[in-house]
């Protein structure tokens, strides 16, 4: 049965699930979530799709899985891919996925939303400044880790890469410039070179162009 991923193009968190799904070769299809129309905040969505009011959600028969990190783990269980080659590597992969959720994507998603998808007069500048300070500290950790490495963990792509890159391919400005972080830039090119790689706006339905 084809798995369904509830997602939308603007969501880096959804991309963190959609990209390994696509690259794993598993059978899946996207279902567009109308985030900008308020769908994730509706009672119907909370009742029938996800009580946390979030995307992405993966539906595989009777299984309904949320949180991109758990969806990634599920993809690894089903495909045998992207989870690390040894128990130690598996922990190292999970470490970076947690770090990303805690320190990188959480802040990047909020900063990008406020700086691009809120009206200019509703942007809380003190908050976006604070988030950008936290993000610069996170980019520095990732950039330093990638020195001498092609992938975050081990010798090939894992969920650690797919998690950390979640928001880093988007064109809308939120304070991240690849040219400022040469090791991150090189690593992102490695991900873009993977057979079957797609940009978030090509992999999932919905993009700012739809609302222009």
Q: Summarize as ranges the residues that interact with a second copy (CB under 8 A).
A: 51-53, 63, 65-70, 73-74, 88, 91, 94-95, 98-99, 101-103, 105-106, 124-127, 130, 141, 144-145
Q: How far apart are CA 185 and CA 180, in angstroms?
A: 8
Return the SS3 of 204.
coil
Query: Residue 63 pairs with which residues in a beta bridge?
Result: 60
Residue number, 32 or 103, with CB nearest to a second copy: 103
Cα–Cα distances in angstroms (integers) from residue 46 to residues 40, 42, 187, in the given order: 7, 6, 37
| Among 13, 195, 142, residue whose Cα is nearest residue 151 | 142
Residue number, 64 or 199, with CB nearest to a second copy: 64
Q: Taking the complex as a whole, how short is the minimal distance between the CB of residue 9 and a second copy, in angstroms?
A: 20
Q: Taking the complex as a whole, how short is the minimal distance between the CB of residue 38 and a second copy, in angstroms?
A: 14
Residue number, 6 or 201, with CB nearest to a second copy: 6
| Among 149, 147, 154, 158, residue whose Cα is nearest residue 182 | 147
Q: Taking the complex as a whole, how short is the minimal distance between the CB of residue 110 and a second copy, in angstroms?
A: 8
Q: Taking the complex as a whole, how short is the minimal distance between the CB of residue 24 and a second copy, in angstroms?
A: 17
Q: How far apart are CA 93 and CA 30, in angstroms?
A: 25
The DSSP string of 15-46 is HHHHHHHHHHT--EEEEE--GGGTGGGSHHHH
Q: Taking the complex as a whole, how short is the minimal distance between the CB of residue 82 and a second copy, in angstroms?
A: 16
Residue number, 163 or 201, with CB nearest to a second copy: 163
Residue number, 71 or 204, with CB nearest to a second copy: 71
């Amino acid at each position: 049965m084809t798995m369904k991923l509830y997602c939308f193009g603007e969501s880096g968190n959804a991309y963190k699930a959609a990209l390994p799904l696509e690259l794993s070769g598993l059978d899946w299809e996207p279902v567009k979530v109308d985030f900008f129309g308020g769908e994730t905040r509706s009672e119907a969505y909370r009742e029938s799709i996800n009580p946390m009011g979030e995307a992405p959600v993966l539906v595989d028969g009777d299984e309904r899985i949320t949180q991109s990190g758990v969806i990634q783990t599920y993809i690894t269980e089903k495909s045998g891919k992207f989870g690390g080659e040894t128990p130690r590597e598996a922990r190292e992969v999970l470490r970076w996925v947690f770090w990303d959720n805690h320190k990188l994507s959480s802040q990047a998603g909020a900063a990008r939303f406020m700086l691009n998808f809120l009206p200019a007069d509703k942007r809380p500048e003190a908050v976006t400044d604070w988030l950008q300070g936290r993000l610069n500290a996170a980019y520095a950790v990732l950039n330093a880790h990638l020195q001498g490495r092609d992938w975050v963990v081990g010798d090939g792509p894992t969920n650690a890469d797919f998690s950390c890159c979640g928001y880093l391919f988007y064109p809308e400005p939120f304070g991240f410039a690849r040219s400022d972080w040469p090791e991150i830039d090189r690593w992102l090119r490695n991900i873009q070179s993977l057979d079957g790689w797609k940009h978030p706006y090509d992999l999932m339905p919905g993009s700012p162009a739809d609302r222009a």
